[in-house]
Structure formats: structure tokens, C-alpha cells
Amino acid sequence: MRGVADNRRMTPQEQNFADYKRAEAKALEIVAAMKATSPKKVDIELALLVALFELHKGQTAPATIGQIVQSHLETLVPFYTQQGGPAPS
């Protein structure tokens, strides 16, 4: 039961990050499964975007969801740029 004891010692910020990392790991598993289902990246991209709208459906206006996605991209693009991805086109 080490995980339970570790969770009790975590700060709220550390717990939030741990929760995020678990969700991120699951999302990457889903992407791997999607790649096995369709070789078309555009199919996977659109399906993931639809999932974001479905996540917020009935609670958040579609325009607001778009703003949320854009805000996340503004954070992620510089991160992945620093990771040495392909040069911008």
C-alpha cells in the first residue's frame, strides 16, 4: 500500500500533478490504440478534438472550448519546440 502512504505525504500541487500524469499516460495509451486503428493522422486529430468537445458538452460553450484548446496550445507549442521537434514549416 505504498501508493496510499505516498499520496498522504503529497502536497495538493503534487497530487494534482500526479493525477495529471496518470491522465496523460492513459491518453497516450489511447493514442497508441488509435494509431493501430487508423493510419490517417487527420482521423486521429479530429477524433481527439471531438473528445475534447464531448468532455465539456452541456457545461461549456463551444467557443469557450476552442479558447481552452488554444490556451493549452500556447503552452504546449513552446514546450515541444524546446524538445527539439521538427523545424517549423
Q: Which of 56, 18, 16, 51 is closest to 33 using CA atoms?
A: 51
Q: How far is CA 81 from the centre of its chain?
A: 17
Residue 6 pLDDT > 60: no
Q: What is the pLDDT of residue 48?
A: 95
Q: What is the pLDDT of residue 7?
A: 53
Every domain of the chain and the residues it spans: 10-38, 40-82
Q: What is the pLDDT of residue 37?
A: 93
Any idea which residue has 490556451 for its cell? 71
Q: 30-59 pLDDT, tens per residue?
A: 999 999 999 999 999 999 999 999 999 999
- Indicate the pTM of the whole model: 0.73
